[in-house]
Amino acid sequence: MRRISHTAPEGPRPPERSAADRLVDELLVRVALGDEPAFVGVYDALVVPVMGLACRILRDEAQAEEVTQDVMIEVWRKADRFRPERGAAKSWVLTLAHRRAVERVRSVRAGAERERKAAQLAHQTPFDEVVEAVEEREERAQVYRCLAGLGNTQRLPLVLAYYQGMTYAEVAEALSTPAGTVKTRMRTGLRRLRVCMGGD
């Protein structure tokens, strides 16, 4: 008499992660413990795909650069929420990037609608105001390009201080780095930014 097996068939197995993906997973777990060198590794591995995704959604390089920097800061601050058993670090970070980029698209659309209504009320915007707005936008894009050219140890303290509003002490604590070292890195980074933007 033929024995009937009651063993349920195995479902599809999740795809094996590559050695590179497993390395990024391990680095992100270390980032959650405040490991700054590990964050540099995560940044270098994922900044290009994050930027690519942001560009595809936003179709604007300057805004994609802003979103990319915001996402990488979020990775640093929220790394403890990553669960390697639920998926790869790359997928987790790209999910953050997708959410940020979509939020930016909605924000831009809302801003455009507000500007349209304001223009209808004003009927005419003085030429010098238009020029000033364009120059401000171009300068902001240049700042982000120059920031992207800095090393991580100089860029991250500046971004935390100027875009997240942190004090020297808060930046030092967030990076687990002595306050004196943070100040030195920020001074060096600011000097390089001035040079990049055409200052003395």
Residue that is written with structure tokens 């953050």 in the block: 96
pLDDT digits (tens, 9 = 90+) for 96-126: 999 999 998 888 777 666 666 655 544 444 5
pLDDT digits (tens, 9 = 90+) for 135-191: 566 677 777 788 778 887 888 888 887 777 778 788 888 888 888 888 888 888 888
For the chain, where are the alpha helices, taking DSSP H only?
19-31, 36-58, 61-78, 89-122, 127-148, 152-162, 168-175, 179-196
CA 71 – CA 69 distance, rounded (Å): 5
Task: Please state which CATH number belongs to domain 18-123.
Answer: 1.10.1740.10
How large is the angle between the packed helices 61-78 and 19-31, nearest 10 degrees?
Answer: 60
Q: Which CATH class is domain 136-199?
A: mainly alpha
Q: How far is CA 125 from CA 131, 132, 137, in A?
A: 10, 12, 17
Domain residue extents for the chain: 18-123, 136-199
Candidates 159, 165, 149, 155; CA nearest to 188 is 155
Is the pTM value of this prediction over 0.75?
no
Rg (CA), the chain: 22
